A and B are shown apart, each in its own frame.
Chain A
Amino acid sequence: MLKKHCKYETQIENGVLTVTLRGEIDHHSAVSVRTEIDSLIYELRPQKTVLDLSEIDFMDSSGLGLIMGRYALMQRIDGELTLKNPNERIVKIFELAGLGRIVKIEEDAEEIGAEDAEENTEKESKK
């Protein structure tokens, strides 16, 4: 079994697909993650997809391609894409590309104020 550089978990709740990414996003890991997230989006047709980046240790411009690709896909199905807790390195890469204000960003602090309905959650997990 080869080591996976980027692992993720998915969760769907009230039409919101949350993908929690862990590890390193580069060209190598983006290719497989991309295919798997897309098939989930096509299957579940969420109104909103949240990419949780709080546990990303490394991301290069391939990650930017991954995020913008999912952003475009969500737009195509009339949904939206949000990034959760991107670190300052990730934000910097977005700013270099002039895309700082295109994708919505949510931080954990805002989340606490919202509903914390962790129950009734269908959990899908992939390793």
Chain B
Amino acid sequence: MKNAENKRRKSPSGNLNELKIKMPSLSVNEGLARSVVAAFCAQLDPSATEIADIKCAVSEAVTNCIVHAYKDRIGTIYINIRLCEERVVRVEIKDKGCGIEDVKTARQPLFTTDAANERSGMGFTVMESFCDAVRVRSKLGGGTTVTLFKAFEGR
């Protein structure tokens, strides 16, 4: 009986539930990505604020892939959404783009390499404020993986 319960809730990789997305770095996909993540999180009966938080954080990370990682070309963005604990969602947003030279500096509020295009430099600050944890792994020329953790208390 317990096995059957686990089978229903766990994916082959042992996580509670999981969704993988692979999309080209087209700006129209910013809205699609945040909507898909919001739809995934709906299973936790989240509050309106929690949904607004995760949507905004995902939008920032995906925009970074489009405007920075794949600055001069269209590349692939990989998004992995997991329910990793009972009420914690982990969203991994990965690109194989240019990478970040200095992650610590990039995470500073208002820091941007692209002021000419009105980038506010607030992307990572927004992610950090609206999520419980943000992990950034990057390699110059090798790409960047941003992992967002968000706990949902629900309504």
Contacts and interface: CB of A to CB of B under 8 A. Distances in A.
A53 interface: no
A58 B109 CA distance: 21
B76 interface: no
B130 to A, nearest CB: 9
Main SS of chain B's interface residues? helix
A1 to B, nearest CB: 14
A97 B125 CA distance: 8
Interface in A1-32: 2, 5, 24, 26-28, 30-31
Contacts of B126: 60-61, 93, 96
Main SS of chain A's interface residues? helix
B28 interface: yes
Interface in B42-93: 52, 55-56, 59-60, 63, 66-67
B117 to A, nearest CB: 8
Given A24-B31, A31-B27, A68-B120, A97 B59 contact: no
B137 interface: no
A60 B60 contact: yes
A96 B120 CA distance: 11
Given A62-B119, A92-B129, A98-B109, 15 more contacts: A27-B27, A28-B31, A31-B27, A34-B118, A58-B56, A58-B59, A61-B125, A62-B118, A64-B120, A64-B122, A68-B120, A69-B118, A89-B52, A93-B122, A93-B126
A101 to B, nearest CB: 16
A105 interface: no
Interface string A21-57: 0001011101100100000000000000000000000
Contacts of A60: 56, 59-60, 63, 126
A62 B109 contact: no
B21 to A, nearest CB: 17
- Interface size of B as a range: 20 to 34
A97 B31 contact: no
Interface in B5-19: none
Given A27-B66, A27-B67, A89-B52, A96 B30 contact: no
Contacts of B129: 92, 96
Interface residues of A, number: 25
19 contacts: A2-B28, A5-B31, A26-B27, A26-B30, A26-B59, A27-B63, A27-B67, A28-B28, A30-B118, A34-B118, A58-B55, A60-B59, A60-B63, A61-B63, A61-B125, A64-B120, A89-B52, A89-B56, A97-B122
